[in-house]
Structure 1
Amino acid sequence: MAKMIAFDEEARRGLERGMNALADAVKVTLGPKGRNVVLDKKWGAPTITNDGVSIAKDIELEDPWENIGAELVKEVAKKTDDVAGDGTTTATVLAQALVREGLRNVAAGANPMSLKKGIEAAVASVSEKLLKNAKDVETKEQIAATAGISAADPAIGELIAEAMDKVGKEGVITVEESNTFGLELELTEGMRFDKGYISGYFVTDPERMEAVLDDPYILIVEGKISNVKDLLPLLEKVMQSGKPLAIIAEDVEGEALSTLVVNKIRGTFKSVAVKAPGFGDRRKAMLQDIAILTGGQVISETVGLSLESASLDLLGRARKVVVTKDETTIVEGAGDAEQINGRVQQIRSEIEASDSDYDREKLQERLAKLAGGVAVIKAGAATEVELKERKHRIEDAVRNAKAAVEEGVVAGGGVALINAGEKAFDGLKLQPGDEATGANIVKVAIEAPLKQIATNAGLEGGVVAEKVKNLKAGEGLNAATGEYVDMLKAGIMEPVKVTRSALQNAASIAALFLTTEAVVADKPEKAAPAMPDGAGGMGDMGF
């Protein structure tokens, strides 16, 4: 396919037009008085959102140069969302400001490579100051405040803070759609996985359709159990102990299952059989997790253990096992704390090393089951459109709260960047000229988020930015009320990870914009000519 090439100013201006089109659509959502954007869908109801990355993903432009510019800025929003879970609009606004100022200087004759060097040095210094100014999150109220701002709803913030309080910072908080209106929090104690009993005959509580075993032994087997002869020696030992037995295996079938069911019905012996969760290697890993959590061992031929020779000391223990038709919960496994901690560290290392989002998500779930717990926030709304928008906001707020716990919080509302910028530029060792100009570009650009928040609130951005610069550190505009307040005391805060990631990712793309000298794109294909009208040639056919 033939290509088109644009050079110099033409290339950069084409990219800038695309960036501006995307950034202008995204930045109207910034701040407490930001507006929503409606995204048309090819099928189903349109989506209403104020999430920067969702809007950015939906934008495609006709002009090839402009579309490349928009794609570059999408990368800023996506990377910030991946790293920090929020701050996508701030990152887009910063990228636009850095590129606008930078291109002005390049057009005036500045060297793009020197500007890039100055921008990078200034951003590193501002990031360092941001981390220095961050305050650790120590209270439930602080988590509620930062999550509430992200979700633009204090009630959501409070619910997330409660969930984090219950499951810990390693715990998993998932968001599900609910049929009922409003918000609901459901907590899981212990390890839960999504496999239920193999036979309904194992039920001990017919009203709730649950099999509940108190203080049971837990047999964990990698393969299938079908031959009762393999199982009998162990069953006799468990029966002598007077404890119930929970079996977790790839499958329990045939005469082995019949024996367990018959003994349960007769009241001779209480047990429950459950299929192992997951598939393939993930199943093996999860069985090992269960074994470590309960202080047992996985009975597997690969490690030289067979069912017929298994003894009671290879079985796991727990205070309680609750099994429904769809899921199993192991409460207070009797595993060794040191071994559990070692397994947690191993999973953390795997998360850091993994490139796949799916693998990371599954590893995070395993980590939560071992280290924390699982909380489910159920969200309901009047319409499907509102429900999707609400669910997305809650998911963003959960990630925002986790980022706050990780690195601490700074003043929100664009104030942290201005405060960090006041001292960040003093000690920079840069060459006079274009490198110093690069640092100055950052100095101007870090005011952009505050100006945009003020503009969206119907105020004059430049006037607000000047006023905030002259206030004490940590004081700024509460755009919701129009008052100037101490941001942290007023509960207006954001995770430093969000602010830092937004600035670093915006600077990275801005540097690419400024140092671009040529852009190559596919030449649009001309539409095929329309077929001639066939009816015209039918005049002499005698009709």
Structure 2
Amino acid sequence: MTKLKFGEDFRSPLTEGCRKLWQMVAPLYGPGGKSVWFEPPHDIPMAAGSIKDILPDFTLADPMEMMGVRILGDAAGRVGRSVGCGVGTTVLLAQALLDSGAHMVAAGVNPVLLRQGADRAVEAVVGHIRGHAFGAGDEAVVKNALRTAATDEAAIHALMEAFGRVGYDGIVTVEDSQLMETEVEAGGIRYEYGYASPGFADDPVRKTVTLKQPYILLIDQKLESITELQKLLLEVIEKDAELLIVAREYSRTFLTDILRNVSQKVFRVVAAMAPGHGESRRRNMEALALRCGGVLQTKEKGCILERCGLEVCGRAALAETGKEYTKISGAACRDLSGLDAMGKRITAELELAETPEQKESCQLALAILAGDSAVIRAGGTTEIEMFACKRDMENALLAARSVWHHGAADGGGIGYLEAAHAAEELLSDMDPEMALGVRCVVGALGVPAKCIADNAGENGAAVVARIQARGMPGYGFDAGRKCFCSVARAGIVDPAEALCAALEAGASAALTILTAAAAVVLRRGSCAPGALQCMNLQVPGAYRHIEGGKMNAVIVSCNTLRDELTSALEKCRCPYPVRYLEASLHNVPKKLHAALQAELDRLEDVDYVLLAFGTCGDALCNIHTGDYTTVLPRVDDCITLLLGSAENRKQYPENMATYFLSRGWLRGERNIWVEYQYTMEKFGKEVGESVFGALFGHYRNLGVLDTGCYPIEEIRDETEHIANVLHLQHRVVPASNQYLRELVSGQWPEERFFVFPPHTEMTSEMLHPGLL
């Protein structure tokens, strides 16, 4: 049975979802904005001062309304990640366009012509704002932009101090502080990738390791065995030097051998992870090699590690690495011309970058080349105040960089009002229906200024009318002092790129909804009742909703989930065939990738493949699917899957110090206890305890997952013995197989599952940005 929804029957719930989001956003907007209280899942209620706090957890019961929220929320989120502000502006502009555009479409206006006119108006307004941007490279203007983005003077002072030390292209990181004061620490190259094993940490309190005058070896490949570096390590021993290895990946054998030699004081070596992923990692490592005066070792260059000595290494005065960061100070650059040439190349790539992730990647490489960084530790009298301070500084950081590079525009919504005439000039020779699209955009441009005045307790419509009647450039309303003035002179400015990005994103989201054609609701044997599957059809903006009974499906699962998956299939009465892969394959991601790909290639005559895995690092990257739809939970590993979500995992304060396991892990071919016994047998008790002490030194708890799918008492004696041997506190952690029940029953909400169409390659860009 097929149900069709056309026109208003389809668009109305989408626009209603956007309206509900707008109702939450509008009270927050501007300096007079209020807070909105909400209760995140698995956390205490809190007051949100920004839409960015609400957006991740904003859900509606109606799936069609939620579809509208996701369309608008995604557009707003992209603006925030790109320039730090403009998220609320995106929602306000989009809702204004939806309100006016929906009436026109309902009255019979051609939505395609309406969109064409609106697109031309947006292009004209954006061109005007960029053409009249001011203050690029002016620290006074940047400071004013910071005051708009972050109201706390201590935060503004900390950011300006950080920029003063490392420049606007340097690495500036905002972290939590255990103190009430906000402080700045500057110096050296810093990036957010740390050591490959906690066993390298020699500071028991800070969990860090420091090397003095180290050699720095950079390798863009996986290190399998310590024998690959035999010549180089002998030179390190001979010179009594210290060595920092920065490589793409390390095998467990390599790390075990290095840690054993370090613990026996044969040499002082630390293995750290390379910064970034994929192409960005290669670029970052090339920049790091130039900055430190070393040579990046890659297979493409024909390097043979066995022949390499210290001559390929860079040097630095100091290197410090922790669990989540590496800092290199006093790097010795030998090739200044090469440094300058690479800087120009990356700057050109930055100008062409389209996504926030691409821009961030280029900025990190430029910061490494600059050779300096700063860390701001956000303080506060309470944890809520500290997190609010950190959030504001992160947003202000992006806004300040945007103003420094691209300039500012008049704030308080005045930048839009001044640019409105650029769109009105298009009306003279335009199709009447296209002209209506232009008028929709012109009308929406006054909404931000009106909302700011409304939240300040004034009549927003009257304020906007007075500003437009005065007609003076830069004349606007200061909501803080409740007076009319020249907003730029009063220090009220916004990043020009934020205004442009918010208008482009808001218009795109609204016009996408207005030009949506139809919804096709299919009843077929593919999904459990009530499940919603959104897929693009031939007509732009159309979706299908699949309902019905059982699927023609096969499950491919990690063997560690056998107990939980068996229980889920029984409870949901879904007798799908299951193909299990060995748990030990997780130890070598390449082997897991190959085994999973081979299993998928063997499948025939199946409509759905349900993968009972997490994304498992990079193991699922570049997996090619066949002639079937593939469903994968949006989790990073099986622990998060059994806990229900990453948010559930975060509710345990000791999460980062807890080693989780279940009966499935204990029954695995190479579980932790098997590894422990193997290490003791091969290297002896003294070395074995030293290695495991290093590997588990940062853990405090052994968390046994009680999923309710087997009697927990069956494994309690065994897990308590393991906890005693490893000197960990034994804890039973509540868990469930709810995620697996949703997987097998066909309930696949977009926020919890990836749904890939046939013949898809699962790229890293698809898998990693969407994790819960």
Q: State the TM-score bracket (shorter-chain normalisation).
A: 0.7 to 0.9
* Letter of the structure 2 residue corresponding to residue 37 of structure 1: V
Q: Which residue number corresponds to residue 479 of structure 2?
A: 479
Cα distance, 1:181 vs. partner?
0.9
1:401 shift after superposition: 1.4
Higher CA-based Rg = 1
Superposition map of 1:500-539 within 5 A: 500-520=500-520, 525=530
Q: 1:218 to 1:507 in 2, by over 3 A?
A: closer
Contact 2:187 2:374 in 1 (8 A): yes
Per the alignment, residue 123 of structure 2 pairs with 124
TM-score (norm 2): 0.58
Q: Secondary structure at the match of 2:509?
A: helix
Give the partner amino acid of 1:39: F
Taking the TM superposition and a 5 Å limit, the aligned residue runs for 1:196-275 are 211-213=211-213, 230-231=231-232, 234=235, 245-249=241-245, 272-275=268-271
CA distance in 2, matches of 1:191, 1:497: 27
Task: Give the SS at the match of 1:333.
Answer: coil
Task: State how 1:169-180 maps to structure 2 within 5 Å.
Answer: 169-180=168-179
Superposed displacement of residue 199, structure 1? 9.7
Q: Is the 8 A contact 1:234 1:310 kept in 2?
A: no
Deviation per residue, 1:256-284 (Å, 9 max, x gap): 9589957xxxxxxxx95332433997887
Question: Using the alignment, how far apart are the partners of 2:41 and 2:262 within structure 1?
Answer: 53
Partner of 1:485: helix, strand, or coil?
A: strand
Tell me which amino acid in the other structure corresponds to 2:194: D
Cα 1:230–1:9 change in 2 (3 A) is: closer
Give the Cα–Cα distance (whole angstroms) in 2 for the partners of residues 18 and 287 of structure 1: 45
User: Aligned ranges for residues 243-392 of structure 1 at < 5 Å?
Assistant: 245-249=241-245, 272-278=268-274, 288-298=286-296, 313-318=311-316, 320-323=317-320, 327-344=326-343, 364-392=363-391
Contact 1:47–1:388, Cα closer than 8 Å, also in 2? no
Q: State the Cα deviation string for residues 151-192 of structure 1 (Å, max 9, x = none).
A: 232332232222223222322222211111131112132456
Aligned partners of 1:362 and 1:518: how far apart in 2?
39
TM-score (normalised: structure 1): 0.80
Q: How many residues align?
A: 505
What residue number does 2:80 align with?
81
TM-superposition CA deviations, 1:496-535 (whole Å, max 9, x none):
1110111111111222232234345689749xxxxxxxxx
Q: Is the 8 A contact 2:82 2:398 kept in 1?
A: no
**Residue 498 (structure 2) aligns with:** 498
Q: Partner amino acid for 1:278?
A: A
Question: Is the 8 Å Cα contact of residues 30 and 455 (structure 2) preserved in structure 1?
Answer: yes
What amino acid does structure 1 have at the position aligned with 2:80? D
Q: What does the per-residue CA deviation read over 1:118-156, in whole Å, with 9 as the maximum and x for residues that have no partner?
A: 111111111110111101332333222212211232332
Matched to 1:275, the amino acid is A
Q: How does 1:423-502 map to 2 (within 5 A)?
A: 423-427=422-426, 430-471=429-470, 472-502=472-502
Could you say if the C-alpha distance between residues 491 and 273 of structure 1 is closer, same or farther in structure 2, counting changes exceeding 3 Å? same
Give the distance between the partners of 1:438 and 1:115, measured in 2 at CA.
4
**Is the contact made by 1:33 and 1:479 (CA closer than 8 Å) also made in structure 2?**
yes
Q: Is the 8 A contact 1:454 1:479 kept in 2?
A: yes
Give the letter aligned to residue 247 of structure 1.
Answer: L
Deviating more after overlay: 287-296 vs 517-526: 517-526
1:188-203 pair list within 5 angstroms: 188-190=187-189, 194-195=194-195
Go from structure 1 to structure 2 and tell me whether the alpha carbon gap of 1:354 and 1:121 turns closer, same or farther (over 3 Å shift).
closer
- Per-residue CA distance 1:336-374 (angstroms, 9 max, x = gap): 122234444666688789999878766654442223532
Which amino acid counterpart does residue 295 of structure 1 have in structure 2? Answer: G
Rate the CA distance shift 1:470–1:518 in 2: closer, same or farther, 3 A: same
**Contiguous gaps of at least 5 residues in structure 1:** 263-270, 527-543
Structure 2 gap segments, 5+ residues each? 248-253, 524-528, 532-772
Shift of 1:405: 2.0
Question: How far apart are the structure 2 equivalents of 1:10 and 1:199?
Answer: 61
CA distance in 1, matches of 2:229, 2:90: 63
Distance across 2 between alignment mates of 1:198 and 1:230: 26
SS at match of 2:334: coil
Partner of 1:532: none
In structure 2, the CA distance between the partners of 1:337 and 1:43, relative to structure 1 (3 Å rule), is same
| Aligned-residue offset at 1:11 | 2.9
Whole-angstrom CA distance in 2 between matches of 1:424 and 1:359: 31
Amino acid at match of 2:10: A
Q: From the superposition, tell whether residues 427 and 356 of structure 1 become closer, same or farther in structure 2 (CA, over 3 Å).
A: closer
* 1:535 matched residue in structure 2: none
Q: Would the aligned equivalents of 1:217 and 1:245 in 2 still touch at CA under 8 Å?
A: yes
Letter in 2 for 1:494: D
Aligned Cα root-mean-square deviation (Å): 4.0
Contact (CA 8 Å) 1:77, 1:88: kept in 2 or not? yes
Specify the SS of the correspondent of 2:480.
coil
* Aligned equivalents of 2:306, 2:281: Cα separation in 1: 22
Following superposition, the deviation at residue 321 of structure 1 comes to 2.5
CA contact (8 A) 1:286 1:366 kept: yes
Distance 2:165 2:375 in 1: 11
CA contact (8 A) 1:229 1:308 kept: yes
| 1:486 shift after superposition | 1.4
Secondary structure at 1:425 match in 2: helix
Give distance in 2, aligned partners of 1:381 and 1:305.
Answer: 50
Paired with 2:202 and 2:112, the residues of 1 have a C-alpha distance of 71
Structure 1 residue 166 and structure 2 residue 169: aligned? no
Change beyond 3 A, Cα 1:103–1:48? same
Deviation at 1:202, TM superposition (A): 10
Distance 1:475 1:254, change over 3 A: closer
Give the partner amino acid of 2:244: I
- Distance of aligned partners of 1:428 and 1:131 in 2 relative to their CA distance in 1, 3 Å threshold: farther
The answer as to whether partners of 2:40 and 2:57 remain within 8 angstroms in 1 is: no
**1:62-73, aligned counterparts within 5 Å?**
62-73=61-72
Q: Deviations over 1:264-314 (max 9, x none)?
A: xxxxxxx95332433997887766544322223356787566678667754
Amino acid at match of 1:478: D
Q: Which residue of 1 aligns with 2:134?
A: 135
Question: Who is 2:606 aligned against?
Answer: none
**Residues 172 and 374, structure 2, Cα contact 8 Å, conserved in 1:** yes
1:411 aligned partner, one-letter code: D
**Letter in structure 1 aligned against 2:373:** V
